[in-house]
Structure 1
Amino acid sequence: MTQVPGPEFRTQGFDVPTWRLGAAPWQAIPSHGPARQRVILDNDFSGDPDDLYQLVHHLLSPNVDVRAVIGSHLREGDPFDPGPDTARNAVAVAEYVFAQMGLASTECIHEGANAPLVDRSTPQHSAAAQAIVDEAMRDDERPLFFLAGGGLTDLASAYLIEPRIAERMTVVWIGGLEHEGLASPPPDAMPIEYNLLIDLVAGQVVFNDSDLTIWQVPRDVYRQCLVSDAELRLRVAATGPLGRYLYDEIALVMTRAAEQGRGPAETYALGDSPLVLLTALQSLFEADSSSSKHVVRPTPALADDGTYVEVPDARDMRVYTWVDVRLMFEDFYLKLDEFSRWQAAGS
């Protein structure tokens, strides 16, 4: 449901100062050193606007080196963006966010596949899949995190193209059902979790067939990431044009939900934001996502109905059970405010 900008935005321009990734000119006190991690951001930016918040937050986090931003597809007929070409739409949205921020590093944006995998052995070739392979195989001592807030088509395709990437990255994925013994489904839950349903076959490649290291934020945990409308009005919408854009995209969804008899509601789940928390906001000493909680479990296989199947002697994975929303959202609000003040002063 994120509004996809038309081609006119490329010529209208934004009266904002420009910058490039690797710099943080809005910080009055500079960062204390170079980025510790490399990240690839993969999300369906034309869908639920929670991914816009994650994208902006990552771009404003100097502790991560954003190596690629991938616009990925939604499932066919998705009510947020029924398509066609939803990955192309996602790229247009990402480019629009970059333009609003004055961020000139658009060469890092790549279009993913516009359709899911047809089977578990055939990749969907795309600029995004190749960018994933290239970055994973590049020599760099810093850890690489692949951060997925939607489906897993492009990651699965990259793995099928070059399986060696599995030993060179950690996958953090927002998606999947609740795990037995850890949480119960919400009322009237979708039987196959939303992000997994985008491309179940790709999920099976990643979980069942690969040896990729997975940190999973399942549905019960990403639903913890609630913000109130008051927070969004006073700490996002009131923070310059970029903040108003972010707020208006959420407000559009909430208005339509109310028209459908689902609201109005006073909260919204920014469910993709743990991608920032678990990477950019790791601890200084013994670096890890130490403010959140996880359990280590053998990686299950995914059945055709999206449920988990135990696999004897499977590789370990992390399943997050609780995320530090205070750190996550306070950091976002402060970075957005700091950036917007710098942007306003330079316009």
Structure 2
Amino acid sequence: MTRVPTPAETEAVRAARTWKLGETPWQVIPPIGAPRARVIVDNDFSGDPDDLYQLVHHVLSPSVDVRLVVASHLRPGDPFDPGEQQAANAAAVARDVFARMGLESADAIVEGANEPLSDRATPRPAPAVDAIIAEALRDDVATPLFYVAGGGLTDLASAWLREPRIAERLTLVWIGGGEHEGLAVPPPGAMPIEYNLLIDVAAAQVVFADSAIPVWQVPRDVYRQCLVSDAELRLRVATAGPLGRYLYDEVAEVMRAVSSYLGGAAETYALGDSPLVLLTALQSVFEPDPASSRYVARPTPAIGDDGGYVDVAGARPMRVYTWVDTRLMFEDLYLKLAEFGRWQTATDAATAAWEVTR
């Protein structure tokens, strides 16, 4: 549903004020200290626009060093993007977001595979797979590496199939998978296989059962907690400069498109990918952890072909989040958008005064 721009359209919306990843020119009071963690962002940016909010929020968060942005595919024929070049479309959308932000770091955007795994033993080649392996195997940095995924897991699974050593070098934070028995029940009319899992069931089977990658999972019942109201989006997002208006309009377009099929307009939208920011960039100062959210520790299950969980004796532990701190997560997003919007729309004189105060 997110509109895929042409290169000319992206150039037309390129912001005048520029910056690069690792810089924070919009902050009057600069951040204290260096980033505490590295992040690889993986999302299907030509799909549900909640991933645009997550991407913007992550790159506006100075506590993490965004190393790569993996543009990944949706399931074949997905209503959001039914084309055959979904990963290429996702990369075009991500570059467009960077241009709107004046962010001159498009080299961090890497294209993933356009198809799911054919089986659990054969990786899909893609530029993203090479980049994931290279970042995970770096020996010149000590900061932890989080792989944050808001869609399918094709490119991470392919990277592990190519180089299993990456399992020791990163933690997966994944928005996806169905409800766990004893913790939650599916919503009314739920898809039999959860949306993100359905993108590539085999890839999730590789990551959960075949690999030793540590997993922090945000299943469907938890990402559905991440509701914002249309009033919030109108007053806290659409008013935050041209970037905020773009983000609002992308969600509004989806709402208009589905309202006739769902019995009328709704006043809420789930920004379900935003916990990827909460669980990595918004950790506690002392004893760093996503301390304001709740999880249970469980043995990592295998995933059946039907999308269900299969117990595995002696499996490595994983985190299953049961509740996320939406107040911290969304208030931080709104304030960062407002701060960035003020800087981006400031007059030249105001910008000069801004720089003097830094």
Question: Same fold judged by TM-score > 0.5?
Answer: yes
Task: Return the letter of the residue paired with 1:207.
Answer: F
Structure 1 residue 155 and structure 2 residue 153: aligned? no
CA displacement at 1:164 relative to structure 2: 0.2
Deviation by residue 1:66-93 (Cα, 9 ceiling, x = unmatched): 0000100000100011011000000000
Say if 1:253 and 1:135 are closer, same or farther in 2 by CA, change over 3 A: same
Structure 1 residue 202 and structure 2 residue 208: aligned? no
Task: Return the letter of the residue paired with 1:327.
Answer: L
Q: Percent identity?
A: 69
Distance 2:162 2:47 in 1: 27
Asked if the contact 1:254/1:263 (under 8 Å) is kept, the reply is no
Name the count of aligned residue pairs.
347
Structure 2 equivalent of residue 270 of structure 1: 271
The 3-state SS of whatever aligns with 1:141 is coil
Structure 1 residue 37 and structure 2 residue 26: aligned? no
Distance 2:74 2:323 in 1: 27
TM-score by length of 1: 0.99
Task: Return the letter of the residue paired with 2:81.
Answer: D
Say if 1:346 and 1:297 are closer, same or farther in 2 by CA, change over 3 A: farther
Distance 2:36 2:347 in 1: 29
Distance 1:239 1:185 in 2: 35
Structure 1 equivalent of residue 231 of structure 2: 230
Structure 1 equivalent of residue 353 of structure 2: none
CA displacement at 1:290 relative to structure 2: 0.3
CA displacement at 1:261 relative to structure 2: 3.4
Asked if the contact 2:15/2:99 (under 8 Å) is kept, the reply is no
Distance 1:15 1:318 in 2: 40
The 3-state SS of whatever aligns with 2:345 is helix
Task: Return the letter of the residue paired with 1:204.
Answer: Q
Task: Return the letter of the residue paired with 2:219.
Answer: P
Distance 1:346 1:75 in 2: 44
Aligned pairs (5 A) from 1:1-347 = 1-139=1-139, 140-345=141-346
CA displacement at 1:51 relative to structure 2: 0.2
Q: Which runs of 4+ in 1 moved over 3 A?
A: none
Asked if the contact 1:16/1:346 (under 8 Å) is kept, the reply is no
TM-score by length of 2: 0.96
Asked if the contact 1:295/1:318 (under 8 Å) is kept, the reply is yes
Deviation by residue 1:118-173 (Cα, 9 ceiling, x = unmatched): 00010001000111000000011000000000000000000001000000000000
Distance 1:194 1:24 in 2: 35
CA displacement at 1:10 relative to structure 2: 4.3
The 3-state SS of whatever aligns with 1:121 is coil
- Mind listing any 5+ residue stretches in structure 2 that lack a counterpart? 349-358
Task: Return the letter of the residue paired with 2:18.
Answer: T
Distance 1:265 1:315 in 2: 41
Task: Return the letter of the residue paired with 2:249.
Answer: D
Aligned-residue RMSD, C-alpha: 0.9
- Mind listing any 5+ residue stretches in structure 1 that lack a counterpart? none
